[in-house]
Structure 1
Amino acid sequence: MEIGKKLKDLRLQKKLTQEELGERTDLTKGYISQLENNLSSPSMETFFDILEVLGTTPKDFFDNDRVSQPIVYTKQDGTVFEDREKGYSMTWMIPDSNNKDLEPIMLSLNANGEYKQFAPSLSETFGYILNGTIELQLGERMYSIKKGESFYFEATESHQIRNTSVRPAKLLLVVTDSYL
């Protein structure tokens, strides 16, 4: 394991310069550079201080056995839920998306189908219409959105998506996980 490279990668992920990391750990920019280039080895205390500033633990830093998260997902990875009464089906496209900051969902609405009404929250919602036309109710306002169009809103008002046409509609929804 290249400790210096891993330290540099963590520093860059935190968007810190060598100078900023040095200031937060009472080290010089030059010493941080030496560590990142494997030209010097820190004491245990210094190493632990650096890891703390970089937001990780020694165990996580050295844990090479962790299973990395998949990058590509297939249709079989999704989980489908169907509500025949309300006329929609949805697919959670990422298996553990409820543990992520973003939750991508494929939503299919039958003719005159409607997705549940949501209360106000701190979430952000993006949608792209793949087929058909949907109606978005956002508070008291109504929007008609058709194939090829997209929408984005901060969910500070109650909202609901409906298909008011006689043709099926399909859309990609991406919602942030930021609830009140």
Structure 2
Amino acid sequence: MIQIDGGRMKMTEKDISNRITQLRLQKNVSEYKMSLALGHSKGYIQSISSGRTMPSLGEFLAICEYLEVTPKQFFDDGSKNPALTQKIVESVSKLSEKDQRLVLEVSERLGKE
């Protein structure tokens, strides 16, 4: 998990590998399928998951896009399912203010139970 080092967050390569795996499993996609979808050989994601390699910045951004998360959501390991959260935000943002307040009220009520 992310560590705090002198007031700054620190994420290790293992944390990045684990987070990619976590988000990939939430998306319910195999390493093989994700590798091919990103335009790589079938073992690309497995090599990242095992820690043998790390993606370049461009590849990291492509991975985030594929997993339907922003880089900020990727590094927010407190979010259980950031892709789902993003979809909820996008859906709610299209509602009227009155309906948004209703969704908030329901969400807050459910959170108390």
Tell me the TM-score normalized by structure 2. Answer: 0.56
Instruction: Measure the CA separation in 2 of the matches of 1:50 and 1:56.
Output: 9
The aligned runs of 1:101-180 (5 Å cut-off) are none
Matches within 5 A, 1:5-154: 5-64=18-77, 66=78, 98-99=106-107
Q: What letter is aligned with 1:35?
A: I
- Could you list the per-position Cα deviations for residues 37-88 of structure 1 after superposition, in whole angstroms to 9, with x for gaps in the alignment? 1110111111110111111111111135x587xxxxxxxxxxxxxxxxxxxx
TM superposition shift of 1:29 = 2.4
Task: Tell me what 2:87 maps to.
Answer: none
**Residues in 2 aligned to 1:9 and 1:38: alpha-carbon distance in whole angstroms:** 14
Instruction: Give me the CA root mean square deviation.
Output: 2.8
- The verdict on how the C-alpha distance between 1:37 and 1:59 changes in structure 2, with shifts beyond 3 A counting, is same
Match for 1:26: what amino acid?
G
Letter in 2 for 1:51: C
Contact 2:35 2:45 in 1 (8 A): yes
Structure 1 or 2: more strand by fraction: 1
**2-structure distance, mates of 1:42, 1:17:** 17
Q: Would you say the 8 A contact 2:31–2:42 is kept in 1?
A: yes
- How many residue pairs get matched? 75
Can you give the 5+ residue segments of structure 1 that lack an aligned partner in the other structure? Answer: 69-95, 107-180
Computing the radius of gyration over CA atoms, which structure comes out larger, 1 or 2?
1
Q: Distance in 2 between matches of 1:3 and 1:28?
A: 20
- Superposed CA deviations along residues 109-149 of structure 1, whole A, max 9, x for unmatched, are xxxxxxxxxxxxxxxxxxxxxxxxxxxxxxxxxxxxxxxxx
TM-score by length of 1: 0.36
1:10 shift after superposition: 0.4
AA in 1 matched with 2:76: D
% identity of equivalent residues: 31
